[in-house]
């Protein structure tokens, strides 16, 4: 299974299950603040390559537009500026109620687990997103 196929299947599961941000204020991007949630998304080498290709098309991309305490890809408007190529960790996180905890979905867990087991070397080399210097990043 390729990363693109995984992304498609995750989108199908999300649509079919009705998974969405459970916060009463809709999505306020609080989960895009690694220091607030106590962690940050990991990225694999294939995800890094996708993100870098995406960034290469936008020569004027500005990192940390929303501020240094937020994810480097979050825009001032509170939206992910690399949404089309966002990492798996971001694709599977939907805040549960008004907490920052993620909703659980067995089908998502199984699908991602299967993908990672088929791509074990990539998965084991996962790095935190802030540890990576992406194309065009100062």
Tokens encoding 20? 């969405």
Sequence-distant (6+) residues with CB within 8 A of 13 are 19, 105, 107, 108, 111
Among the listed ranges 22-26, 53-57, 101-105, 117-121, which one has the minimum average pLDDT value? 22-26
Model confidence pLDDT, tens digit, residues 13-25: 888 887 776 666 6
More confident residue, 57 or 108: 57
Model confidence pLDDT, tens digit, residues 70-89: 889 989 988 889 989 999 88
DSSP 74: B
The SS3 of residue 103 is: coil
What pLDDT, on a 0 to 100 scale, did the predictor assign at position 121? 85
pLDDT > 90: percent of the chain: 21
Q: To 10 degrees, what angle do helices 3-17 and 45-56 make? A: 90
The runs of H, that is alpha helices, within 18-105 are 34-37, 45-56, 88-91
DSSP 104: P
Task: Report residue 38's pLDDT band, with 50, 70 and 90 as the boundaries.
Answer: low
Phi (first) and psi of residue 113, to 5 degrees? -60, -40
């Amino acid at each position: 299974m390729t990363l693109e196929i995984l992304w498609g299947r995750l989108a199908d599961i999300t649509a079919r299950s009705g998974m969405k941000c459970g916060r009463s204020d809709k999505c306020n991007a609080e989960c895009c603040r690694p220091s607030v949630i106590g962690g940050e998304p990991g990225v694999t080498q294939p995800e890094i390559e996708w993100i870098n290709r995406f960034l290469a098309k936008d020569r004027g991309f500005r990192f940390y537009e929303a501020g240094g305490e937020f994810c480097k890809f979050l825009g001032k408007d509170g939206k992910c500026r690399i949404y089309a190529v966002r990492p798996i960790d971001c694709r599977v996180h939907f805040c549960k109620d008004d907490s920052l905890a993620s909703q659980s979905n067995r089908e998502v867990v199984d699908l991602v687990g299967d993908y990672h087991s088929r791509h074990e070397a990539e998965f084991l080399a996962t790095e935190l997103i802030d540890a990576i210097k992406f194309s065009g990043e100062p």
